[in-house]
Amino acid sequence: MFEAAARLGSLTKAADELCVTPTAVSKQIKQLESLLSTELFIRSTQGVRLSDEGRRYLDRVTEALTILAEETLIMDEAANVPALDIEVGPCFLHFWLLPRLDQFRQEHPDVLLNINVNNERQVATDDSYDVAFFYSPIHSQKQNNYLLFHERVLLVCSPGFLEKHGGHIDISTVFDFPLVMLKDELEFWEGWQTWAEKTGLEYRIPHDAICMTDQVAVIQAAINDAGIALVWDWHVDELLEAGQLVALTKLIDFNDKAYFLSIADHCTDPAAQTFVNWVLKQEQSASITQLY
């Protein structure tokens, strides 16, 4: 109230600006003068004007209010930083990103992530994301596409499942064993049939299979002794190292497809490049290249 009255040179005008009564303004200023033991205004029938002490006090009050306004603006802008829209598949989210997410947040606390799960993206073609994780032919020719994982698959099972079947599984008879499979394999993914063709086996519809709706569930079922699963190496590297799964075959490379990160053409937020660079640094693979 003091600042408004001093700036406007009128208790009535200050009251109008603050939506209170002139009496309330007068009372508050008298209480302030009593607290400071100083007369801030010289009152007359023509109105009020600042005393020398009042002018000095106004300078400091104005300085303090300016600092508060600037800091409020800074905090408000920080609180309203737009989130980066990240589109990922469930496997990348579950097996790769989530275990490392706290590290990203510690290293980049100023970057807010809005994570959306999409299991069917095979190209980076629209504006529904800032950064997308997607599966595509190896020769995806698009600026700002980053090759993250080559296509490498293998068969795994749990140690308990392997022990239950005598400690050895003849891969040539794999379709006679309990398998854990995807209920609906996407057409553009590699799967059991393409794996069989790559290894020189005749694909047969298994007589004992459990079907899951997503690859995360497939791997969790395999961990729990449900059967043999077809997996990608980056899904299970840590599970193999921890002994939760056992590799039954060597890695098979499918060189015509890979997993990419892509920054959308419309995205100008530098946080997008920060996120991509962080992912690439974490992966630390000689196969990671930027495609132009």
At 291 the pLDDT is: 42
3-class state of residue 253 by DSSP: strand
The pLDDT of residue 77 is above 60: no
The per-residue pLDDT for range 138-182, each reduced to its tens digit, is 776 566 788 888 888 999 999 999 999 999 999 999 999 999 998
- Average pLDDT of the residues of the chain: 83
Residues 208 and 276 in one domain: yes
Q: Do 109 and 63 lie in a common domain?
A: no
More confident residue, 247 or 60: 247
Confidence of residue 5 (pLDDT cuts 50, 70, 90): confident
278 within 8 A of 97, measured Cβ to Cβ: no
Q: Same domain for 87 and 33?
A: no
3-state secondary structure of 14: helix
Where residue 194 sits, what CATH number does that domain have? 3.40.190.290
Looking at the structure, do residues 33 and 141 belong to the same domain, yes or no? no
Note whether 45 and 106 are same-domain residues: no
Q: Are residues 135 and 205 in the same domain?
A: yes
Same domain, 174 and 119: yes
CA distance 41 to 54: 6
Range of the domain at 32: 2-79
Same domain, 42 and 90: no
Please identify, among 79, 112, 130, the residue that sits at the C-terminal boundary of a domain.
79
Query: Do the Cβ atoms of 22 and 11 come closer than 8 Å?
Result: yes
Share of the chain above pLDDT 70, in %: 87
Q: Are residues 181 and 254 in the same domain?
A: yes
The phi, psi pair for 51, rounded to 5°, reads -80, 175
Residue with tokens 């989130």: 83
Amino acid making up residue 54:
G
- 262/233 Cα distance (integer angstroms): 21
Residues 143 and 237 reside in one and the same domain: yes
What contacts 272, CB < 8 A, 6 or more positions away?
84, 130, 131, 263, 264
Assess whether pLDDT exceeds 60 at residue 277.
yes
pLDDT given for residue 163 in this prediction? 95
Q: Angle 55-60-64 (CA atoms, 0-180°, nearest 5)?
A: 145
Q: CB–CB of 2/26 below 8 Å?
A: no
Q: What are phi and psi for residue 233, nearest 5 degrees?
A: -55, -40
Same domain, 180 and 133: yes
pLDDT tens digits, one per residue of 86-136:
988 888 888 889 989 999 999 998 888 998 887 665 555 556 788 988 888
Please count the structural domains in the chain.
Answer: 2
How sure is the predictor about 224, in pLDDT bands with cuts at 50, 70 and 90?
A: very high
β-bridge mates for residue 113, sequence order: 84
* Final residue before a domain boundary, out of 79, 102, 131: 79
> Which of 217, 250, 210, 248 has the alpha carbon at shortest distance from 235?
217
